[in-house]
Amino acid sequence: MYSIMSFVCGLIFGLGLTISNMINPNKVLNFLDFFGAWDPTLLVVMASALVVTSLGYVLLRRRKKPLLDDAFHMPTASAITKPLIIGSGLFGIGWGLAGYCPGPGVAALATLNTDPVFFILGLVIGSCVYHLLSKGR
């Protein structure tokens, strides 16, 4: 059942990204261009996600356990660490240069264009390089 729900959630996410045109890297790049062709539509998508997530947490806190698991698995780490700052900075640089972040990059694969293919390939290679370099930690 968990796999089915993961599929349904991914389907909803992919449809939302595609319908809102967030798989178009120019939408993201124009959102980041405050002094040029600024496009605030990404702000609407982010605000909508914040509202839905906030309501989800309100409902979650009223339950003793989730529907499809024995316990909630909530994040416990809240410290701002050096790896968090470096990783966030690299994520922002990649997002700002490419116009893709992982979710829209994966959803954009459905367009059959080569740009998202190369983006996802770079994402996987970058993740593998980090994994290999961090094994000794």
Quote the pLDDT of residue 86.
Answer: 92
Q: Give yes or no for a contact between 105 and 91, defined as CB atoms under 8 angstroms apart.
A: no
For the chain, 137 residues long, the average pLDDT of each consecutive 10-residue run is: 88 91 90 90 91 91 85 87 92 89 90 91 92 79
**pTM, entire model:** 0.74
| Cα–Cα distance, 31 to 90 (Å, whole number) | 18
Quote the pLDDT of residue 51.
Answer: 96
| Cα–Cα distance, 53 to 93 (Å, whole number) | 26
Quote the pLDDT of residue 66.
Answer: 84
Quote the pLDDT of residue 8.
Answer: 93
Quote the pLDDT of residue 11.
Answer: 93
